[in-house]
Amino acid sequence: MPSIDIPPRETQPSGAQYLAVQASPEFQELRRTLRRFVFPTTAFFLIWYASYVLLGAFAHDFMAIKVWGNINVGLLLGLGQFLTTFIITGLYVRFANRELDPRAEKIRNEMHWSQQ
């Protein structure tokens, strides 16, 4: 342990154990599952947000096109940012509950047993 900030617990896994867990297929699968969701989703919402800000900065006429009453393209795209944020939040929670939590819990339990 590098410091006393991380207090000693009754059964502290050793460095060798962490290396073994890190190399295990279960852990590699958890890591892959997480990254396969998180990285593309992050890329998607950052690009979508950047496109929106670019349109807001440089395409005023396009954003001002009226769609319905006084509601224009800019407002719809802005509300679209809200909508995608809420949808991505929902999708991530469903994904994490189904795919990440059970895998993480299994590895936690195995590490716990192997120390007993």
Partner 1 sequence: MNHLTLLAEGSKIGNPAVNIGIFVAFVIVTLVIVIRVGRRNTNAAEFFTGGHAFSGPQNGIAIAGDYLSAASFLGIAGAIAVYGYDGFLYSIGFLVAWLVALLLVAELLRNTGKYTMADVLSFRLKQKPVRLAAATSTMTVSLFYLLAQMAGAGGLVALLLDIQGRAAQSLVIAVVGVLMIVYVLIGGMTGTTWVQIIKAVLLITGAAVMTILVLAKFGLNFSHILGSAQNMVQEATTKGVSSRDVLAPGAQYGGSTTSKINLLSLGLALVLGTAGLPHVLMRFYTVPTAKEARRSVVWAIGLIGAFYLFTLVLGYGAAALVGPDKILAAPGGQNSAAPLLAFQLGGTILLGIISAVAFATILAVVAGLTITASASFAHDVYASVMKNHKVTEDEQVRVSRITAVVLGIAAIGLGILANGQNVAFLVALAFAVAASANLPTIVYSLYWKRFNTRGALWSMYGGLISCLVLIIFSPAVSGTKTSMIPGAHFDWFPLANPGIVSIPLAFILGIVGTLTSSDAGDPELNAEMEVRSLTGVGAEKATHH
Q: Does 75 bind partner 1 (CB under 8 A)?
A: yes
Tokens of 102: 């059970």
Q: Please, what is the minimum distance in Å from the beta carbon of residue 5 to partner 1?
A: 6
Q: Does 4 bind partner 1 (CB under 8 A)?
A: yes
Output phi, psi for 68, to 5 deg: -150, 115
Q: Please, what is the minimum distance in Å from the beta carbon of residue 37 to partner 1?
A: 8
Q: Is the dihedral of CA 76, 77, 78, 82 positive or negative?
A: positive
Neighbour tally for 96: CB within 10 Å: 15
Which of 59, 42, 40 shows the shortest CA–CA distance to 51?
A: 59
Kindly write out the interface string for residues 34-73 of this chain, putting x where it contacts partner 1 by CB under 8 A and - elsewhere: xx--x--xx--xx--xx-xxxxxxx-x--xx---xxxxx-
CA gap 54, 77 in Å, rounded: 12
Instruction: List interacting residues with partner 1 (CB under 8 A).
Output: 2-6, 9, 12-13, 15-16, 18-19, 21-22, 27, 30-31, 34-35, 38, 41-42, 45-46, 49-50, 52-58, 60, 63-64, 68-72, 74-75, 78, 81-82, 85-86, 88-89, 92-93, 96, 101, 104, 107-108, 111
